[in-house]
Amino acid sequence: EDRIIDNLRKNKDKFDILVVSDYLKGVVTPRILEEVGKYTASKTVIGTTRENALRLKNFSLIGLNDYETVSTYEDVKEDEAIPEEKIVKYGTKLLSDTNSKNLILTRGEKGMSLFEKDRSVTHIPAKAKEVYSLIGAGDTVVATIALALASGASLEEAATIANIAAGIKVGKIGTASVSIEEIKNGIENL
């Protein structure tokens, strides 16, 4: 923990965007999250988690799926269809409770919902034609958003590109990467 925090402090001027993915393996501790939360004034900090989204305080962007967001506040089954009004209610609440600026929710075949700091919500429809595997779709979204933001895209542009990338990813079997050529083709075919 001390080495990670020391490394963050020494290198904070070397990164444009910091992505924190918490897979509940014990690496992302409260102390590390507190340290990372200090950088959001000058850096874009994207946080993802598989559980306890309320740990992500003061982030520039939180990336979760609809189940992770709603289950933060109420019991819900992972395969249960979640009504849009709950998505909006709990997405807005999560932004407030974490004092974070933006939230992107992946919603499977319903696409994504982008909650921005002004509390507006933009729903982006899914682009997948066929779905073979959802494994890694959320990670594809977060990685694509990070790359797009670091390249100068607006948050809505980054989310749109990430939605295209996720649509390509779920059309592949198992864990798979998405190439820049595939994303370019997806953009051209909008």
Among 13, 66, 97, 139, the one annotated catalytic: 139
Task: Dig out the tokens for 162 from the structure.
Answer: 């990430």
Residue type, 86: K
Task: Tell me how far apart the alpha carbons of residues 80 and 177 are, in angstroms, rounded to a whole number.
Answer: 28
| Phi and psi at residue 112, to the nearest 5° | -140, 160
User: Residues 135, 174: contact at Cβ < 8 Å?
Assistant: yes
Question: In whole angstroms, how large is the CA radius of gyration of the chain?
Answer: 16
Annotated catalytic residue 2: no
Q: Which residues of 5-42 are buried (b: 16+ CB within 10 A; e: fewer)?
A: eeebeeeeeeeebbbbbbeeeeebeeebbebbbebbee
What residues are annotated to the active site?
Answer: 139
